[in-house]
Amino acid sequence: MSQRIPVKDLTDSFRGRAVGALADDQLRTNFRVAMDSLMKKRADAFPDEHEREGLRELGNHIKARALSQLPDLLEQLEAKLTDNGVKVHWAETTEQANRIVHSIIEAKQGTQVVKGKSMVSEEMEMNDYLAERNIECLESDMGEYIVQLDGEKPSHIIMPAIHKNRRQVSKLFHDKLGVDETEDVNELIQIGRRTLREKFLEADVGVSGVNFAIAETGTLLLVENEGNGRMSTTAPPVHVAVTGIEKVVGNLRDVVPLLSLLTRSALGQPITTYVNMISGPRKPDELDGPEEVHLVLLDNGRSGAFADAQLRQTLNCIRCGACMNHCPVYTRVGGHTYGEVYPGPIGKIVTPHMVGLHQVPDHPSASSLCGACGDVCPVKIPIPELLQRLRQENVKSPAEQPKVKDGGAKYSRKERVIWRFWTRLNTSPMFYRLFLWGATRLRKLAPKNVGPWIENHSAPVPARRSLHDLAKAHLNQGDR
Amino acid sequence: MSERFYDAAPNATLVAPERAKPRVYPAKPTEVTLFGTCVMDLFFPEAGLDAIRLLEREGIRVHFPQAQSCCGQPAWTSGYVNEAREVARAQLNLLDNGLPVVVPSGSCAGMFRQHYQEVFAEEPDTLKRVESLAERTFELTEFLLHVCKVDWQDLGKPTQIALHTSCSARREMNTHLHARELLGKLANVERLDHDHESECCGFGGTFSVRMPEVSGAMVLDKTRALRESGAAEMVTADGGCLMNINGSLDKQQQPFRGRHLASFLWERVSGEHRS
C-alpha cells in the first residue's frame, strides 16, 4: 500500500475527493440505496422498451433540430417574450448574469430573494454573489434548502440533498432550526415548509430556472413537485428566470415528448405534480402573478460546445439526472467528488466547456466507459463517445491546438513516449513476438510492483507460453 | 432469436443496448482467422487455444496470423488517436484477406466493428476496408451461436455458474444475449443471476490504474456479488474483465474464480476435465 499517493496531495483532485467519499460508509450507503431506487423507478416508468427507444430517438431529433436552428430560435424567443411583456437579458458569463440579476433586485430595492430550484443559478453561484451584496437568497426547493442550511452544494442535479438520509436531515433541522428530532419524512417536510411559507410572502424577488423555453409562444416551462416553483414565480412581485441558451425549443409540440422523457427518466413520474407555463407578467385584469418577469439567457461556454458538431450533442441535455443515477462511478463517490456544479457523466462532458479542462483535468478519465449513461440518456447523448473525445483534447500538445477550452491539460511528454513505445511494439511483429518471448520466459521475473494495479489486484503473471506460441504449435502452419 | 433488451438480475442497472439493424449472418465458412487479442495472448492463452478447438470441432480451419498484436483499444480509449490508428492499421492490413475474423473478446470485436470507423474517419479510402472488416468480424459466442449454429451435447457434471459480460461488448456486440443462449444449450449448466449483474466490474482499461480507488471499489462489489450468487464459478468472454476480476479475487485470497467462456465451453463439450 506504500504505493498509494498520499491523500493530502490529492485533496483538490477528483481522485483525492473520491478517496474521502469511498471511505464514508454512510455516504456510500445513501447513494447506493437512492440510486437503486431511482433506477428501478425509471425502469418501471418505461414498461415498453420499444416505446421508450422510439421516444428517445424522437427526443434526440427534436433537440438536434432545435440546436441546428439555435440562433434563430433564440431570436424568436426573445421577440415573442418581449411581445408578452417579459424582459429578456443576455449574459455571456456568469459574472454578467449575476450583475443583471443584481441590478433587477436593486431597482426594486429588494433585500430578500426566494429561489426555486435552478442549476444555472448554481452555475452562477448566485447565492454567494447576492449575499456579498447584502441580499438574502433563500432556497425553496426542499433539497436545496437542506444543503443551503448545511452550507453545502447540491450533490445531484435533481435531488440536491440525496447524499443525506432522513436521520442526517433530522439532526440538521434540530441543530439549525431548534426543532425536535424526528425521522418522519412528512414531519421533516412540514418543518421545512412552515419556515419557507413565510418567506414566499416576504420576498421581493423570486428566482427560478427554466426546463424548456418555447420560442413560438414565448413560454417558459418549469416542472417541479413541491409547489415551491409556482410560489417563487407567482408570489413575489418580480420573477427572474435564469437559463442556459440550449433550453430553447421550437414549439409546444416539441415539448410533449421531451417532457415525458424528462419526468420519467428523472424520477419515474408520468408527469410532475406541477407544470408551470409562464408567458408573461400579470395583466391588468388578472388577480395574481408577478408585476415583472425577466429572463436571463446564459451562455457560459455553451457556444464553445455548440461550435463543434460532435461536442454540440452535449447541449441536448434536458437535465434529468438519469446518467448519474445509473453511473457506477457516481453511485460510489457521490456528487461532491466532482467538485463542480454538475456532477456525474453529464457533468464530465458539460463542465469543461464552462470552466475549461485545466480546472477539471481528471473528469474525462474518471470513467470506465461502461456506457450505462449513454444507454439511459433520454435524448441519446453519446456520453462515452464525448468523454473519449475530451480525452483526446486533453492529451493534445499546445501545437496540436486542442479544440476545447483549456485543452491539453493532461499533455505529457513522458506519457507520449510510453504510447509511442506501445505503438512500436504493436506495429512490429518481430518486436511484438520478441516481447512475448521475453515476457513468457521471464514470467517469474515479471515486476511485482506494477503501479496502482497492485492496490486492487495480485500482480499479473504472464503465462508460460503465449497464444502465438500455442496456436503455432497447435496449427503447425507457421506464419499463416 | 428475438432481440430482447437486457433483463438483468433484480436490482440491476437496466441497460438497453443500442440496437443497430439486426445482423444477418452468413453460412458457416470453411476457414476463419482467429484474432487472439493482446490480453489473451499473454494472460489467457489456453482460452485462446480452446476457442480454436471449439471452431475446429465445427469443421472450420482456423488461421492464426503470427503478425497480429493488439486491436488498438488501449490507446484509443486513452485519447491517443494517432497511436491507435497506427496499431489499428497494422491489424487492418493483416486481416484484409476476406476471411471471417473470430475474436474471443467482445470489446476487441467491438473495436473492429464499431470504433475503427471513428479511428479512420478522416481516411475515406481506408473506410471501405474498415467496413469489410466490420462485416467479417464476429465475437466468439456470436459466431458459435449464429454462424456455426452449434448443437452441443453437454458432457459435464451438473453445475451452476454466473455470467459476466463486458459493458462495451454487451452494448456493441450483444454478447450477453449470445452467451446466455449458448449456455442455455448446455443441459447440465444452470446460469445464476448475480446482484447488479449489468454493472461495470471497474476495469475500463487505463481507468483501473488512473482511478485505482474507484475502480477498486467497483471490483470489490462485483466480486462480492459473484461470490454471493451461489455459483461455483464465473464465466466471461472478455479478457480485460477476467483479468480484473480474477486479479482482485486473488488479492482478496478468495477461492472463487472466473474463467474464459471458451475454456468452460470446451470442457463441457469435449468431456475433457481439467481442474
- B20-63 residue pLDDT tens: 567 899 999 999 999 999 999 999 999 999 999 999 999 999 99
User: In the listed set B100, B116, B147, which residue is the last one of a domain according to the structure?
Assistant: B147
Q: Are B226 and B206 within one domain? A: yes
Specify if B22 maps to a domain: no
DSSP type of residue A314: G
Q: Are B143 and B168 within one domain? A: no
> Is residue B119 less than 8 Å (CB to CB) from chain A?
no
Q: What is the C-alpha separation between B167 and A164, in angstroms, rounded?
A: 30
Angle, helix B81-94 to helix B124-136, in steps of 10 degrees? 60
Q: What is the C-alpha separation between A143 and A430, in angstroms, rounded?
A: 61
Give A-chain residues touching B205 at CB under 8 angstroms: 368-369
Beta-carbon neighbour count of residue A179 at 10 Å?
16
Residue B18's pLDDT is what? 44
Tell me what the pLDDT averaged over chain B comes to.
91
Q: Are B83 and B142 within one domain? A: yes
pLDDT at B15 over 50: no
H/E element, A113: strand A112-115
Coil, helix or strand at residue A91: strand
Q: Are B165 and B265 within one domain? A: yes
- A170-206 residue pLDDT tens: 999 999 999 999 989 899 889 888 888 888 989 999 9
Helices (H), chain B: 38-43, 45-57, 73-78, 81-94, 106-110, 116-119, 124-136, 140-142, 167-173, 175-184, 207-210, 212-227, 239-251, 261-270
Closest listed residue to residue B60, CA positions, set B51, B68, B69: B51
Residue A7: exposure state from Cβ atoms within 10 A (0-12, 13-18, ≥19): middle
Residue B13's pLDDT is what? 40
Would you state the cell numbers that stand for residue B99, as one nine-digit string? 476471411
Q: Count up the domains in chain B and report the number.
A: 2
Residue A430's pLDDT is what? 95
- A3-51 residue pLDDT tens: 444 444 556 899 999 999 999 999 999 999 999 999 999 999 999 888 9
Q: Are B82 and B112 within one domain? A: yes
DSSP type of residue A338: G
Buried b (16+ CB within 10 A) or exposed e, A36-62: bebbbbbbebbeebeebbebbebbbeb
Containing structural domain, residue B45: 31-147
* pLDDT interval class at A451 (50, 70, 90): confident
Tell me what the pLDDT averaged over chain A comes to.
93
Looking up cell 419556515 gives A195
Specify if B24 maps to a domain: no
**CB–CB of A239/A290 below 8 Å?**
yes
Would you state the cell numbers that stand for residue A34, as one nine-digit string? 437512492
Q: Are B178 and B251 within one domain? A: yes
CB contact under 8 A, A479 and B49: no
**CB–CB of A325/A150 below 8 Å?**
no
Q: Are B167 and B75 within one domain? A: no
Specify if B152 maps to a domain: no
* pLDDT interval class at B161 (50, 70, 90): very high
Find the mean pLDDT for residues A205-209: 98
CB contact under 8 A, A458 and B40: no
CB contact under 8 A, B247 and A456: yes
* pLDDT interval class at A140 (50, 70, 90): very high
Residue A11's pLDDT is what? 66
pLDDT at B5 over 50: no
Q: Are B171 and B193 within one domain? A: yes
Give B-chain residues touching A371 at CB under 8 angstroms: 15, 167-168, 171
| CATH of residue B163 | 3.40.50
Domains of chain A in start order, with CATH, are: 7-40+322-400 (no CATH), 49-300 (3.40.50.10420), 417-475 (no CATH)
Q: B200 vs chain A: nearest CA distance in angstroms?
A: 6
> Is residue B239 less than 8 Å (CB to CB) from chain A?
no
Q: Are B140 and B35 within one domain? A: yes
Q: Is the ipTM of this complex over 0.85?
A: yes
pLDDT at B8 over 60: no
Residue A480's pLDDT is what? 43
Handedness of CA A356, A362, A365, A370 (dihedral sign): negative
